[in-house]
Amino acid sequence: MNQQNEVDIKKQSTDYDVELVYYSDLKCENYNAKIIGTDWHDGRISLKPWHSATKEFCFMNSDPDRVVAIAKMMIAFAQMVKDEAKKSIDTSTNA
């Protein structure tokens, strides 16, 4: 008897690079801010710094423009995930 085994593959998350060029009033030049956003299959998200050993955000003695830029990226990513979740909801009235 020949039995076929099926491979079950489920997507758990999708990672995104989130970038923003911002101007620092403190240093009078442009900088690039980058974070990683993860969209989980259950509608939740994770955010972490692009390069960090601790994988958490810590703002100490920071340039206010950098903090604002990172906050904007966090808001934009969260809103994107919310908007995509709304699109995937089936609103058909088939009964």
pLDDT in tens, 74-83: 999 999 999 9
Confidence of residue 1 (pLDDT cuts 50, 70, 90): low
Domain assignment present for 93: no
Predicted pLDDT of residue 39 = 97
Residue 73 belongs to some domain of the structure:
no
pLDDT at res. 12: 95
Number of domains forming the structure of the chain: 1
pLDDT class of 88 with cuts at 50, 70, 90: confident
* Position 26 in a domain: yes
Residue 89 lies in a domain: no
Mean pLDDT of 19-45: 96
- Taking alpha carbons only, the member of 68, 63, 80, 65 closest to residue 17 is 80
Is residue 90 domain-resident?
no
Question: Does residue 69 form part of some domain?
Answer: no
Alpha carbons 41 and 39: distance in angstroms, whole number: 7
Q: Establish if 41 belongs to a structural domain.
A: yes
The pTM (predicted TM-score) of the whole model is 0.81
Show the domain range for 31.
13-51
The answer as to whether 28 is a domain residue is yes
